Amino acid sequence: MVKKKEETEYSVILDTSFMIRLLNESDKLHSNALGYFRYFLEHNIPMYFSTISIAEYCVKGDFQDLPFQNIRVLPFNIFHAKEAGRFANTIFSAKAKNLIEIPDRLIIPNDSKLFAQGSFEKDIRYFVTADVKSKKVIDVLRIDCAAGIEHLDINIPHTTHYGLLDFGPEQ
């Protein structure tokens, strides 16, 4: 069942790839991630960061660096688990039918868990990520599972996504 999400009131779930770019000033996508982060803060758009993403981030990043004062931690629960199983089955089936290309990697189950969390939580509209390949997976889930989440690619600046004028860096 597709959930209805209001245009003006929604939340986002941040991917690990987003947080890596946000917290690494030398990353080529840092300014884009920072632009989205500021936009979400300025427009009171709640940002969720999954416990799954926290675990992924902590593989190489420091737990203490995460901006907990500005994000909401989203624990993975039994309802997310049920949805994640269905999503993973759909993703593996689409991969077997060559409908999507994703490398053989263990991250697929983690991705399906994050997509399930974002889809299950009624206020979450966007999965915010630097992972361009996840768009095809989310598109399959939206069609085959009526997933209620959209892909938001931080390779595209927030000013372009939201149709804003970009006056350059703030002075």
Kindly report, residue by residue over 35-69, the tens digit of the pLDDT: 999 999 999 999 999 999 999 999 999 999 999 99
Quick check: is 166 in a domain? no
Is 3 a domain residue?
Answer: no
The answer as to whether 79 is a domain residue is yes
Here the tokens at position 166 are 């970009």
Range of the domain at 143: 11-161
3-state SS class at 149: coil
Residue 46: what residue type? P
In a domain, 18, yes or no: yes
1 within domain boundaries: no
Number of C-beta neighbours around residue 61 at 10 A: 16
Quick: pLDDT tens for 6-23: 445 899 999 999 999 999
Rounded to 5 degrees, what are φ and ψ at 62? Answer: -95, 125
Q: Which pair of structure tokens corresponds to residue 26? A: 């030398």
Q: Write out the two tokens for 58.
A: 């902590």
- Per residue in 135-157, pLDDT (tens digit) is 999 999 999 999 999 999 999 99
The structural domain count of the chain equals 1
Lowest mean pLDDT among 94-98, 116-120, 132-136, 162-166: 162-166
Task: Let me know if residue 169 belongs to a domain.
Answer: no
Model confidence, pTM: 0.85
Bigger pLDDT: 108 vs 159: 159
CATH code for position 89:
3.40.50.1010
Tell me which residue of 40, 44, 95, 52 sits closest to 77, measured CA to CA: 52
Please indicate, yes or no, if residue 138 is contained in any of the structural domains: yes
How many Cβ atoms from other residues are within 10 Å of residue 7's Cβ?
6
Q: Is 103 a residue whose pLDDT tops 90?
A: no
Q: Decide: residue 102, CB within 10 A, 0-12 exposed, 13-18 middle, 19+ buried.
A: middle
In a domain, 2, yes or no: no
